[in-house]
Structure formats: structure tokens, C-alpha cells
């Protein structure tokens, strides 16, 4: 793909919000009524990146980091305070019809399907809105339903579907017009492991089959690890990292995880000298140990603790990310 021009461009993308402050006391309410004080939330601050056609990029960050706001700017729902964006050749917030036909946004916490009707009716509605010819519509529904193993569920009212089936149907509805760029905001939110894997597999297959570009946020690192080679890490509205997933571990995880099986249960204090205790349950313990002191610490552990088994591995991605994101959102008074 070298030399291909990017399909998503964000340059210095910035979004500030002004929110009214209110104390919870009665006096606070009165004061709020008389003279409002505002604060500026810097939801997104000078974010720049480029995504090539066909790439699957994971977007990581804690709640409130600015992921959703960025997606909303790229899909044209939110105007930026400053900065530029170009998606599939369009400025998103102009919301031109040609642009809307090329993109889709799936939000795991919101649904577009009509609750009381079979999903098929919502699909027909979308087909009409996107002007998909009848034959093509049937073909696409058949294809996508097969990829999602959803064939038998299309004629049941959406409210009768399980959460996983509903998410699959949401994806089908969102992809019927065969968008070039997919923005997926927590598509696996609340799903059980099987459904998560199914949705993940589907996204991978969709990307492979149609060459669509995917920008996806997820709380489940497994989603990101399985789908994207490249990740963007956003924290407090700023882009902290843009690159390969492995590079993220090397840069932000100067730790190793040591897993212990002890001969007898020990109190947490007994483990503290050897590293940060991430978990302790009966005779099982997990410690985070700085990489450069690993050998020395392991030797000490083996010498001083009743160890039955010891294992060293890369810490889970979740904990790496959690370590990166440990300070609150910057807020300034106006």
C-alpha cells in the first residue's frame, strides 16, 4: 500500500466544550441560577493522524479520553473547534450525501433498528434511504447474514433477539450500503465472549473481503489485539501513541508480570517488597516487576517465599493501558 493516499486524514483536530458548573447544595443551585460559571473541557486537543485505505486501526483510551468525540468529528456529527479532517475525500461536517453514503458509524451503546419490527424491515428502510436496488439489496442481506450467521433471525422482532444477535443485526444495517470507511465505537460492548469473537471475526472478514477501512474503539483489548496491527492511543484528548501494537508494549510497559503459585497463602504485605501486587487469591498471586530488575527480584522471590511455581510473562494489555492512563482529565476554569 506504499504511496496510496490516505482515506482518513485528521490534522490538529481539536474540540473544546463549555459546560456549566454547579455545586450540589441549595446555595449552589441558587448561585448557578444567578450567575453561571463555566469550565472548558478539552475533549480532543490537536490530534493528527492518517489512515490508508484498507487499514484496521484500533483506537485506545479510557472513558472520556476523546475517542467518541473524535469519531463524531470524523463522521460529521460534531464540528471541531479547530483543525481539519478529510474522510473519503469529504469534509465530514458538511454532511454531503455522497459522504454519508461512503461511511458508517456503529455505536455499541445505541441502536438504530426499529425495536418492535423484524430487523428485515429496518434493512428495507435503509435500502430505500440509500437507494440500493432490490436485487442488490437481497444479495447483500444474504451475504452479510451468512457471514454473521444471522439468517434465521431476520424475521423476528428485534426486541426478541439476544444482545449479541442485535449487535450483529446493527452491523448488518450499518453495512448494507457498503461503506468504504467504518467507524466502530465499542461494537462489542456488553457482549459475552462468544459473541465478541463472532463480531470480531466478522469485522476481520468484512475488511478482508471488501477492503474497507476500519477505525475501531473498544474496551476489550482482545478486540484490538485481534483486529488491528496499528493502534492510536488517546489520553486526556491528546494522541500519545500512533504505531504498531507491539511497540506500544515496549514503550509503555517497562514491566513484566510474575505469576506465582505459593506453597501456602500469604498476606499481601509479604509480597510487597518484590513488586506491585496486581492480584492475590489464596495461593495464586500476580506481581508487576520493573523489567530491568526482573532477574534480581525473581531470585529474591525464590529465595524468600514458599514458591511452588513461577512464571514470567508480558503483562495484559489492559494493565499496560491502565498504567498509561492514570491522571484525570485536564480542566480549566473560564
Partner 1 sequence: MRKARTLLSVYLAYMLEYRAELFLWALAGALPLILMGVWTEAARGGEFPLSPGEFARYFLMVFLVRQATVVWVVWEFERDVVEGRLSFRLLRPLDPFFDHLAAHIAERLARLPFVVLLTLLFFALFPEARFLPEPGAFLLGLGLTLLAFLLRYTMQYATAMLTFWTERATSVEEVFFLLYLFLSGTIAPLEVFPEPLRGLALLTPFPYLVYLPAALLAGQKVALFPGLWVMLLWGVGFLLLSRLLWRLGLRRYSGQGA
Contact status: 101 vs partner 1 (CB under 8 A): yes
Q: How far is the CB of 66 from partner 1 (least distance, A)?
A: 11
* Binding test (CB under 8 A) with partner 1, winner from 93, 210, 241, 252: 93
Specify whether the CB–CB gap between 22 and 32 falls below 8 A. yes
Specify whether the CB–CB gap between 309 and 261 falls below 8 A. yes
- Strands 276-281 and 284-290: what pairing? antiparallel
Give alpha helix (H) positions in the chain: 26-34, 67-74, 97-102, 119-129, 134-147, 163-175, 193-210, 221-227, 245-252, 268-271, 294-304, 317-324
Contact status: 75 vs partner 1 (CB under 8 A): yes
Looking at beta carbons only, is 126 or 228 nearer to partner 1? 126
Binding mask 8-47 for partner 1 (x = CB under 8 A): -------x-x-------------------------x----
What is d(CA 88, CA 102) in angstroms, rounded to the nearest whole number? 7
Contact status: 219 vs partner 1 (CB under 8 A): no
Neighbouring CB atoms inside 10 A of 95's CB total 12
Contact status: 253 vs partner 1 (CB under 8 A): no
Contact status: 79 vs partner 1 (CB under 8 A): yes
Contact status: 130 vs partner 1 (CB under 8 A): yes
Contact status: 88 vs partner 1 (CB under 8 A): no
Residues near partner 1 (CB under 8 A) are: 15, 17, 43, 69, 72, 75-79, 93, 95, 97, 100-101, 103-105, 107, 110, 112, 114, 116-117, 121-122, 124-131
Amino acid at each position: 500500500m506504499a504511496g496510496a493516499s490516505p482515506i482518513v486524514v485528521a490534522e490538529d483536530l481539536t474540540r473544546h466544550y463549555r459546560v456549566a458548573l454547579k455545586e450540589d447544595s441549595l446555595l449552589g443551585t441558587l448561585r448557578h441560577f444567578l450567575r453561571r460559571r463555566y469550565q472548558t473541557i478539552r475533549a480532543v486537543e490537536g490530534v493528527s493522524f492518517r489512515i490508508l485505505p484498507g487499514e484496521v486501526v484500533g483506537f485506545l483510551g479510557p472513558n472520556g479520553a476523546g475517542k467518541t468525540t473524535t469519531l463524531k468529528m470524523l463522521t460529521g456529527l460534531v464540528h471541531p473547534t479547530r483543525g481539519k479532517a478529510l474522510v473519503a475525500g469529504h469534509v465530514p461536517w458538511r454532511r454531503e450525501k455522497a459522504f454519508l453514503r461512503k461511511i458508517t458509524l456503529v455505536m455499541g451503546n445505541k441502536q438504530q433498528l426499529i425495536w418492535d419490527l423484524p430487523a428485515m424491515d429496518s434493512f428495507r428502510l435503509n435500502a430505500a434511504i440509500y437507494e440500493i436496488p432490490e436485487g442488490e439489496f437481497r444479495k447483500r442481506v444474504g451475504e452479510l447474514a451468512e457471514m454473521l450467521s444471522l439468517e434465521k433471525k431476520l424475521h423476528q422482532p428485534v426486541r426478541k433477539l439476544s444482545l449479541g444477535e442485535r449487535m450483529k443485526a446493527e452491523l448488518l444495517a450499518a453495512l448494507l450500503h457498503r461503506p468504504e470507511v467504518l467507524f466502530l465505537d465499542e461494537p462489542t460492548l456488553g457482549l459475552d465472549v462468544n459473541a465478541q469473537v463472532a463480531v470480531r471475526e466478522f469485522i476481520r472478514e468484512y475488511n478482508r473481503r471488501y477492503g474497507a477501512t476500519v477505525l475501531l474503539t473498544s474496551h476489550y483489548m482482545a478486540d484490538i489485539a485481534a483486529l488491528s496491527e496499528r493502534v492510536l492511543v488517546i489520553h486526556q484528548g491528546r494522541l500519545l501513541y500512533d504505531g504498531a501494537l507491539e511497540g506500544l508494549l515496549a514503550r509503555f510497559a517497562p514491566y513484566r508480570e510474575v505469576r506465582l503459585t505459593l506453597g501456602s497463602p500469604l498476606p499481601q504485605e509479604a509480597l510487597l517488597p518484590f513488586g506491585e501486587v496486581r492480584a492475590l487469591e489464596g495461593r495464586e498471586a500476580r506481581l508487576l516487576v520493573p523489567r530491568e530488575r526482573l532477574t534480581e527480584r525473581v531470585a529474591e522471590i525464590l529465595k524468600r517465599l514458599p514458591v511452588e511455581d513461577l512464571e514470567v510473562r508480558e503483562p495484559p494489555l489492559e494493565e499496560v493501558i491502565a498504567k498509561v492512563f492514570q491522571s484525570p482529565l485536564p480542566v480549566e476554569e473560564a
